[in-house]
A and B are shown apart, each in its own frame.
Chain A
Amino acid sequence: MRGGDGKRNNHDTDLGRPALETALAETWKTPSSLWGALATVDHKIIGRRYIVTAFVFLALGGILAVLMRLQLAQPEARLLGPDRYNQIFTMHGANMMFLFAVPVMEAMAVYLVPLMVGTRNIAFPRLNAFSYWIFLAGGALLWISFALDMGPDVGWFAYVPLSGPQFGSGKRADIWAQMITFTEVSALAVSVEIVVTIFKQRAPGMSLDRIPLFVWSMLITSFIIIMAMPAIMIASTSLILDRLVGTHFFNPAEGGDVLLWQHLFWFFGHPEVYIIFLPAVGMVSIMVATFARRPVFGYLALVMALIATGILAFGLWVHHMFVTGLPRLGESFFTASSMAIAIPAGIQIFCWLATLWDGKPVFKTPLLFVIGFIVTFVIGGLTGVMVASVPFDTQVHDTYFVVAHFHYVLIGGAVFPLVGAIYYWFPKMTGRMMSEDLGKWAFWLIFIGFNLTFFPMHILGLQGMPRRIYTYQPDMPWHGLNMFVSVSAVVLVAGFLVFFIDAIRSVRRGPPAGDNPWDAPTLEWATSSPPPSYNFARIPVVDGADPLWEQREILAVAAGLRTDRRELIITTVGAAKPEAREASPRNSIWPFWAALATSLMLIWSIFTPWAVVWGSIPVAITLIGWFWPKGTPEDES
């Protein structure tokens, strides 16, 4: 595969290993200057940034939770007034859902998927950079407005008419709605990149039945994002139009409908929780295989379960609206579908249990978090089956029972696997191991603290305590349990502190990890820790689902890519046969400018509709700069 110009020494077949690595490093490098940091399109740098930013938001949201628990420990406490409390619980929910949970899963995918499928960079790398800056801008918008006493105070799902123009005074709800726009654009961008990367950039030989399960789960998740995000874009845009311009989408007196908001929001909102959950499920499948020392049992069943979950997720949304007065027969259909989604979840749990049964478990920290996940997520899933029932839900909807349920499925079902995944992939990302001792401390503190904090909330809900109340009366029997919950929350916080401290310390002073400290089977462990900017010196070729276990001595590779330009291999969707060589974009500052211009336009449009007109001019300019043909060799090829 020589180039048409007949030059020599510019393909990886011409060079020995050291010269190859030097040449590739030069072509794929990110300069270590401010310009380099702003202009990089390396998915690993952007992915790491994304992960760290999301965890900062987790910490901030955790502080809000501590404030809420301090207020609720006593009846009629005067720590927080109603206005401040309403802002805090809205911020807690919106921050955790939009600025932590979805972005951190996206971020893990941005980092890991290209490595796991054996390619050099993610598809559309400049869009990837753009998506991070947009995400950061949305987070900054929300938190700065909270600091200015302008934080939204209408709940993280902002029901109208409370968030509407008449009852939501000021700009608070507009800031919430526009933050949605930022985070949804960012999520949509990443999901498009993931789909294309997975379909077209896999290593030769990695047919569809050899893709790692985390990659499968990210593929399904990305499709869910693409289908679900438009619903909330419509909803938040309609809300802003109602508030700013005076449209009547949600005004019953003029033909609008209050419930339209709920339908639009929950059509997105239910798939949203699967956007958070499915990546975690993928991580669990990977970690179970590595630490059970055998390939995961039931690969086909697990993939089918993922697909079934993805499809079914769109047929459940009315279970959030069971008490709004919709016809009972229609609601009962959603009981059936909401219960049915327990079946794919059950398939997955049973397959993992079978893998552990047949394997030889190695009890390292990631496996501890997987076990913690199984214990807590099954509780959450079972309470999900409970609230799926219309009559059951008429008693527990909007009470602390539901608060307990969703924290069990979100923390148990997503955060436990995520923390385990951080312990698991930290060596790959930083080249150093985290501490096993601190890891065990973190696990037990988090596990015990979490269950002691959230299990009593089931009982509080059945005892009549509604949610989103800033205080309660002394003559209600809730004081004891609330105090218990607040004290237990301290244990949970301590666990997370141990985890954060361990991570921060280990970046500099952890013991060096080799290429593959866990002896794991997937492709990201075939390169150094941390991976070089070009990921793999030569693209690997696979002939099984667990390449590093099947080809223990030497991994087959493909050769022939250029070293003086950024190139990667495009393969077919089904059998991953090599199809073409694709040029990959170089570092560019335009995504940063485009994100800045877009942020300006979106923030300005909170205040006047004319911002969409005038603000689109800088956006157009930056997009022109982005796409202007540069005459570089990559463009010409």
Chain B
Amino acid sequence: MRGIAERMLPALAPPLMLAGCTGWQSALDVHGASAINLKHLIILIVTVCSIVWALVMVALIAALWHHRDRRELAVSLDPRRERRMTITVAAAVAATVVIISVFTVLSFFTTRALSLAGNDDLTIKVRGLQWWWGVEYFGSAPDQRFETANEIHIPVGRNVRLQLEGIDVIHSFWAPSLAGKQDLVPGRPNELMIRAERAGTYRGQCAEFCGLQHAHMAFFVVAEEQPIFDEWVRLQRQNAATSSDAEVTAGQQVFLSKQCAACHAIRGTSASGTTGPDLTHIGSRKYIAAGLFETTRGSLAAWIADPQTLKPGNNMPMVPLNPEELRSISAYLASLK
């Protein structure tokens, strides 16, 4: 493991904080239409406020260093000086009123600019559960409907309407590089409009405290060009891939005979559980367990072997499997691309 000094090094380098201005989950590294608008507002307001603070500090320092030519205690006050100070204070208050009025008006206009609705919207339903995200896509026919989890693909440059539904407690959908956040409140269907202006993968995280594993409830928005997105949708609509590989087939047997199928669904098999994430195309998702690990055979095996150590308190039980079953089931799930 790293030495103490290595671990302390980040603490001693405040300039490095500026390096974090880039990232896939940052309000300052933005590639969504809303987030770009918001970043402009943020920079403007922060700049003006910094100048205001600096001016107040200058006034404070001047007030403290200013030498008054008078005896120690002043009980009776000079009306002329009092009047001059009244005018100065009144001017400062007037400036404050102007600044916050400007801020208020700017906020109104930015709020209006955030509503992106149009005719060509793509509608996706997002459900927030303790501690994962259910994602539902629709199509022109009912059998074109499919479900996935924790990863949302969207086409670049098109308005996407996310219908947010809280299933158990309040969660919050927040992908800062794309848009501001919106809560998923049980009993109150909400909506969030996003539009990615550049292809890429953007990370988001639940932003409303929702219990034991609020810290590990991430999701990914993958923005791709329209043809690539259409291809992804076509593949997702298909049932689970079949394979002739012996280990993969054995893994499917394990999946269907053990407790897995009671909670998880894999379209094309007899597994049709609805209480856990849909696993039909788990192998094609970049991360498992709501952003906990990248999807590999190893991470799948680790997750299934001991979910309660990796994400203590989450709702996936520890299913007792022997090593051979664990190997084959991880091979099976990794093959479900």
B187 touches A343 (CB 8 A): no
Contact of A324 among B26, B73, B185, B212 (CB under 8 A): B185
Give chain B nearest CB distance to A322 CB in angstroms: 9
Residue of B nearest to A361 (CB): B64
B63 touches A353 (CB 8 A): yes
B89 touches A74 (CB 8 A): no
Restricting to B1-54, which residues have a CB under 8 Å from any CB of A? 7-8, 10-14, 16-17, 19-23, 25-28, 35, 37-38, 41-42, 45-46, 49, 52-53
Restricting to B250-297, which residues have a CB under 8 Å from any CB of A? 291
Residue of B nearest to A157 (CB): B209
B138 at the interface (CB under 8 A from A): no
Give chain B nearest CB distance to A254 CB in angstroms: 10
Write the residues of chain B forming the contact surface with A, with a CB cutoff of 8 angstroms: 7-8, 10-14, 16-17, 19-23, 25-28, 35, 37-38, 41-42, 45-46, 49, 52-53, 56-57, 59-60, 62-64, 66, 68, 70, 72-75, 77, 81-82, 85-86, 88-89, 92-93, 96-97, 100, 103-104, 106-108, 110-111, 114-115, 130, 164, 168-170, 172, 174, 176-177, 179-183, 185-188, 190-191, 203, 205-215, 218, 291, 312-313
Known contacts A351-B89, A353-B59, A483-B8; decide if A293 and B20 are in contact (CB<8 Å): no
Q: How far is the CA of A278 from the CA of B56 in the complex (A)?
A: 21
Contact of B185 among A155, A325, A392, A467 (CB under 8 A): A325
B209 touches A468 (CB 8 A): yes
Contact of B313 among A83, A374, A394, A519 (CB under 8 A): A83
A-B pairs with beta carbons under 8 Å apart, 22 shown:
A86-B212, A259-B188, A293-B73, A325-B182, A328-B111, A336-B104, A342-B100, A346-B96, A351-B89, A353-B56, A358-B81, A375-B57, A375-B60, A391-B180, A395-B180, A398-B208, A399-B207, A463-B28, A476-B23, A479-B10, A480-B11, A481-B10
A340 touches B100 (CB 8 A): yes
Known contacts A298-B86, A325-B182; decide if A395 and B96 are in contact (CB<8 Å): no
When distances are taken between beta carbons in the complex, the residues of chain A under 8 Å from B20 are: 459, 463, 477-478, 480-481
Give chain A nearest CB distance to B286 CB in angstroms: 12
Residue of B nearest to A395 (CB): B27
Q: How many A-B residue pairs have CB under 8 A?
A: 274
Restricting to A128-185, which residues have a CB under 8 Å from any CB of B? 154-155, 159, 161-162, 166-167
A360 at the interface (CB under 8 A from B): yes
Residue of B nearest to A83 (CB): B212
Contact of B209 among A162, A339, A392 (CB under 8 A): A162
Give chain B nearest CB distance to A232 CB in angstroms: 19
Q: How far is the CA of A294 from the CA of B27 in the complex (A)?
A: 47
A436 at the interface (CB under 8 A from B): no
B170 touches A390 (CB 8 A): no
Q: How far is the CA of A280 from the CA of B108 in the complex (A)?
A: 33
Main secondary structure of the interface of A (DSSP, over half): helix
When distances are taken between beta carbons in the complex, the residues of chain A under 8 Å from B185 are: 258-259, 324-325
When distances are taken between beta carbons in the complex, the residues of chain B under 8 Å from A456 are: 14, 17
A343 touches B100 (CB 8 A): yes
Residue of B nearest to A464 (CB): B25
Contact of A466 among B12, B96, B206 (CB under 8 A): B206
In the A-B complex, the 9 residue pairs with the smallest Cβ-Cβ separation, listed nearest first, are A394-B180, A252-B187, A480-B10, A469-B215, A464-B25, A325-B190, A477-B20, A389-B107, A357-B63
Give chain A nearest CB distance to B185 CB in angstroms: 5
Restricting to A448-501, which residues have a CB under 8 Å from any CB of B? 456, 459, 462-464, 466-473, 476-481, 483-484, 486-487
B75 touches A354 (CB 8 A): no
B85 touches A358 (CB 8 A): yes
Residue of B nearest to A544 (CB): B75
Known contacts A162-B170, A389-B107; decide if A295 and B77 are in contact (CB<8 Å): yes
Residue of B nearest to A476 (CB): B25
Known contacts A459-B20, A480-B16; decide if A349 and B170 are in contact (CB<8 Å): no
A342 touches B207 (CB 8 A): no
B215 touches A470 (CB 8 A): yes
When distances are taken between beta carbons in the complex, the residues of chain A under 8 Å from B108 are: 332, 335
Contact of A463 among B21, B70, B114, B183 (CB under 8 A): B21
Q: How far is the CA of A340 from the CA of B99 in the complex (A)?
A: 11
When distances are taken between beta carbons in the complex, the residues of chain A under 8 Å from B27 are: 395-396, 462-464
Residue of A nearest to B67 (CB): A360
Contact of B41 among A81, A86, A371, A391 (CB under 8 A): A391
Q: How far is the CA of A340 from the CA of B104 in the complex (A)?
A: 9
When distances are taken between beta carbons in the complex, the residues of chain A under 8 Å from B107 are: 332, 335, 389-392
0/1 interface trace, chain A 384-424, chain B, CB 8 Å (1 if under): 01100111111111110000000000000000000000000
Q: How far is the CA of A383 from the CA of B218 in the complex (A)?
A: 27
Known contacts A371-B60, A480-B17; decide if A397 and B186 are in contact (CB<8 Å): no
Residue of B nearest to A401 (CB): B27
Q: How far is the CA of A166 from the CA of B143 in the complex (A)?
A: 35
When distances are taken between beta carbons in the complex, the residues of chain A under 8 Å from B62 are: 357
Residue of B nearest to A396 (CB): B27
Contact of B215 among A294, A350, A391, A472 (CB under 8 A): A472
Q: A159-B170, A374-B60, A466-B206 are in contact. List 20 more A-B contacts (CB 8 A).
A: A82-B213, A82-B312, A162-B170, A294-B75, A324-B188, A343-B93, A350-B93, A356-B64, A386-B49, A389-B41, A395-B176, A398-B174, A398-B207, A459-B17, A462-B27, A469-B215, A471-B215, A477-B23, A478-B20, A483-B11
Q: How far is the CA of A349 from the CA of B95 in the complex (A)?
A: 14
When distances are taken between beta carbons in the complex, the residues of chain B under 8 Å from A359 are: 68, 74
When distances are taken between beta carbons in the complex, the residues of chain B under 8 Å from A360 are: 68, 70, 72, 74
B77 touches A397 (CB 8 A): no
Residue of B nearest to A483 (CB): B11
A301 at the interface (CB under 8 A from B): yes
When distances are taken between beta carbons in the complex, the residues of chain A under 8 Å from B19 are: 477
B210 touches A162 (CB 8 A): yes
When distances are taken between beta carbons in the complex, the residues of chain B under 8 Å from A473 are: 218, 291
A349 touches B56 (CB 8 A): yes
A611 at the interface (CB under 8 A from B): no
Q: How far is the CA of A335 from the CA of B112 in the complex (A)?
A: 14
Give chain A nearest CB distance to B161 CB in angstroms: 14
When distances are taken between beta carbons in the complex, the residues of chain A under 8 Å from B215 are: 82, 469-472
Q: How far is the CA of A144 from the CA of B250 in the complex (A)?
A: 53
When distances are taken between beta carbons in the complex, the residues of chain A under 8 Å from B10 are: 479-481, 483-484
Residue of B nearest to A452 (CB): B14
Q: How far is the CA of A81 from the CA of B308 in the complex (A)?
A: 11
When distances are taken between beta carbons in the complex, the residues of chain B under 8 Å from A394 are: 38, 114, 179-182
Q: How far is the CA of A293 from the CA of B74 in the complex (A)?
A: 6
